[in-house]
Amino acid sequence: MKIFSFLILLHLLLIQTAKCQLVNIENLRMHTDSIRISGIFNFALAFNSTNGKNIATIRGSGAVQYKSRNYKHLWLTAANYNFAKAEGENFVNAFYFHIRYNYKINSWLRWEAFTQSQTNEPLGIAYRQLLGTGPRFKIILAKHADIYLGTAYMYEYEKTVPPEKIVSRDSRSSNYISLNIRIPKINGSIISTSYYQPLFRDLSDYRFMNDTRFTFSITNKWNIYTGFSYFYDSRPPTGIRKSALNLEQGFGISF
């Protein structure tokens, strides 16, 4: 209960300052067996093509994962903070804070619940709050490869940036498929995740993202990675393009 209280308190503190469209949590999950507390911190230089502008971003992100003594309960917290520069203009353009709870039902099925606060002004998001829950399935392909499938009901509260200042409250279906390939010979891994999130009341209003990352471990704690992501929103805020690209190069440390 102490870890639960701490995570909720931290979320309530940061929700007031939370100013990226879809967020890929799969890259921040830590696949550990007997280790109950683990974490990872990433630092990256990213290049984006967003809304007709070329943006250079310095990004910091991190996650902490906690497992209960019987390994049935798992808590994951993740946060991201970006500093960006576009055409000579400096600005902080994105932030998110995410809490996810995972209950182990058996070896291939988990039940998850999550909440997330975020902002991304270049993509028209002044503030977005998410609440969701649903099952997560694990499919074993081979010794060094897994596929994860997930689906969830997600409630979304969103405010768009001025001058529109539109407030919306909607329910979405959040679905993803994630391929995790481990390459022991080079101490590497590939994680590719695709998300599809349509509105329940209007399936033509949807978001799609693919995020692919290659990671190479230098030591047991240090790694370098290269990532590429593509995002599409069928109905973005007025003045915002439907698609965005991101190329990222960074390094991380785990504990």
Report the CATH number at residue 74.
2.40.160.40
Instruction: Please list the ranges in the chain whose pLDDT falls under 70.
Output: 1-22, 32-33, 48-53, 85-93, 122
Q: Could you tell me the residue range of the domain that residue 47 belongs to?
A: 2-254
Cα–Cα nearest to 59, from 68, 74, 48, 73: 48
Q: CA-CA distance, 200 to 74, in Å (whole number)?
A: 29
pTM: 0.79
Domains of the chain: total? 1
The pLDDT, as a whole number, for residue 12 is 36
Q: Which residue(s) pair with 157 in the sheet?
A: 129, 169
DSSP of 78-126, one letter per residue? Answer: EEEEEEEEETTEEE--EEEEEEEEEEE-SSSEEEEEEEEEEEEGGGTEE
